[in-house]
Amino acid sequence: MSVEVHRRSDLTIDGMTCAACANRIQRKLGKLDAVSEARVNFANGRATVMHDDALDAGVLGAEVEALGYRVIDSGATEAAEARREADLRRRLVVGVALTVPAMAISMIPAFRFDGWVWVVAALTTPVVLWSGWLFHRAAAMNLRHGSTTMDTLVSMGSLSALVWSAVVLVGDLGDGHVYFETGAVIVTLILLGKWFELRAKRRSGDALRALADLGASTATLEDGTEIPLELVRTGQRFLVRPGEKVATDGVVVQGHAAVDASMVTGEPVPVEVGPGDEVIGATINTNGSLVVEATRVGSETALAQIIRLVDEAQGSRAEIQRLADRVSGVFVPLAILVSAVTLVAWLVWGDGVGDAFTAAVAVLIIACPCALGLATPLGIMVGTGRGAQLGLIIKGGEVLEDTRNVDVVVVDKTGTVTRGVMVVHEVLRGDLDDATLDRVHRLAASAEHRSEHPIARAVAASVDGEPLDVDEFRNEAGSGVVARVDGTSIRVGRRSHFGEVPAQLSAEAEAAEALGATVVFAGRAETAELAFVVHDEIKASSSDAVAAFHAEALDVILLTGDNSRTAAAVAAQVGIGTRAGDEVIAEVFPDGKVAVIERLQADGRRVAMVGDGINDAPALAQADLGIAIGTGTDVAIEASDLTVVSGDLRAVVDAIALSRRTLATIKGNLFWAFAYNAAAIPLAAFGVLNPMIAAGAMGLSSLFVVSNSLRLRGFRGSRHNDR
């Protein structure tokens, strides 16, 4: 049925042992009428459910617990993992302590004595039944619900070895071979793999936990009073002494200092700040003293939003995961069938019962798809976590795949290639007298006080004193503004915003534009009367970023609403145009930016769009990969797939490189997980691998996936190669 989605519920689930558990919970939740989408991530133990208001979150928890799992408070995740690790360790210690002597007695003839089989049975039975109880309980629970998981294979394999050996020992049946030590070794090796896997999974979440621990716990108010951070309110002022963390997001009102923001933005060099500059909570004041006025607190801070975005990304599912999910869903029943066929075939061919049983158990053990289930979610967890440490917020697994075929990067100019801090360097007056010049200048500056555009702020700041009263104000997107100021109509904007530009003023403007400046015209009617020459400094890192894009075989297109002369000058300075596919597209309105993206896509190009303003949001949403510069607006960030917390364009290169590296890691994980099972199951069926070797190989395959994913923690990026 059609579901109108109003709510999102996140559940933290304890007790999942493999990817098949996650798939079963996901199917169960997805069948509820009020649910439009359910995603369950085995790697982070999180379920994300989209549903309408008619469904209470408690119902979702009840459905999960009906399957035999527990829903716990998200804050209890760390404690639950610690308890699980301690329980695994206890069972593993018992398993090792009893299995090693049992193996020695069974495998080394010199250690055998009269009745040794009974001693081995006594040593291994607690291992199979108690140490392996986790697998048996999960298998029984799954069986009640008509499903099978990896635990089913482990339980069947170890219990089969124990029961068959007991029958042979007590009833003197079969060919006399017993496999007590096989069942114990299976349980012990898989417990060992599980223990290493759990520890590695906890390490994969270190990045997110480290982010959560970055924030300050207290704030010192102007009067010296120290209060808990949660009591800080917007508008309050607090002190930041040298070496202290900035308590929360705010604006500097007094003092100058160098602030180390590397833990949030990934930028290695401290940034000088002074009155009027914004600072981010959790960054560190390296020198000087600051008085900061809080602008965002609690869940609204940049750090809190980064944590939320990374947490959501780690719970997302990449398209490539669907293949693994489909395989996992049929793999266990198929493995049981292959095991049964193997047993029958060996018996029919006339081999001994013991050899037939050994081959069948080996198939069960080698087929455990644990590595397959971890391949994608663990790669996403480590990749997105590392990105967060570098100030790169990857919003989901789907984004990783969108970077695969990107072949062109479209970049906005203002605030992306340039600093976005505009300053009026000159006012072109044409043939105006001083009095008229002053009047039109003040009218234009007062009108621009209503606009948030960087150029408008520069024009507004070019006049001292309070702005004049604005009675009417209309923003014409991409062209300029029309306002009524102090009873006079005033128009400010680009050349096309006016019906006529006097020849002298036009010539002066063209000369300024040829040097790379932006020119904004103003007039009290359809005719422009003066013009503001506005300069925007190019970021020092932009030329390096363009070179890095080219090194990645990416064409770069500069897309801007600015005039063509200024755009061409900026492009030349940063190296856009040195590659055959580069292009400069200027004087484009916001809807025109979307049209450019659509044209490129129609030509078969895979487009990444980089922008920072509200006017970039539609293009970011249209692009195959939308990348927002984090110094920009919330609207742009929400519309993007990737967010670069810093304003350094080189970080965009890092974001694309990390996404590609993460996707390559996931593909490697899946390949080896598939290859392992494809190669090992036939070997087990033909008797080449015995159950003990199979159990060890199964554990090693999971450890390979984990260690391969953890290699992403070493990704550094172009901004950090010099450190």
Contact 58, 49 (CB under 8 A): no
> Bridge partners of 500?
527
Catalytic (active site) residue 471:
no
Q: CA-based angle 380:385:391, to the nearest 5?
A: 125
Q: Rg for the chain (alpha carbons), in Å?
A: 33
Starting from the edge strand earliest in sequence, which strands make up the sheet with 35-41, in order? Answer: 35-41, 46-51, 7-14, 70-72
Q: How far apart are CA 199 and CA 363, in angstroms?
A: 27
Catalytically annotated residue among 412, 536, 562, 582: 412
Q: How far apart are CA 303 and CA 31, in angstroms?
A: 36
- Where do we find the tokens 């691998």? 689
DSSP assignments along 41-98, one per residue: ETTTTEEEEEE-TTS-HHHHHHHHHHTT-EEE-GGGHHHHHHHHHHHHHHHHHHHHHH
Task: Give the number of residues written for the chain.
Answer: 723
Q: How far is CA 467 from the centre of its chain?
A: 44
Burial (CB count within 10 angstroms: exposed 0-12, middle 13-18, buried 19+), residue 224: exposed
Residues 6 or more apart whose CB falls under 8 angstroms from that of 230 comprise 298
DSSP assignments along 380-441, one per residue: HHHHHHHHHHTTEEE--HHHHHHTTT--EEEEEIIIIIEEEEEEEEEEE-TT--HHHHHHHH
Nearest to 499 by CA among 535, 460, 469, 528: 528
Q: Which two tokens stand for residue 673?
A: 């997980």
Nearest to 77 by CA among 50, 46, 49: 46
Contact 450, 442 (CB under 8 A): no
Contact 384, 314 (CB under 8 A): yes
Residues labelled as active-site residues: 412
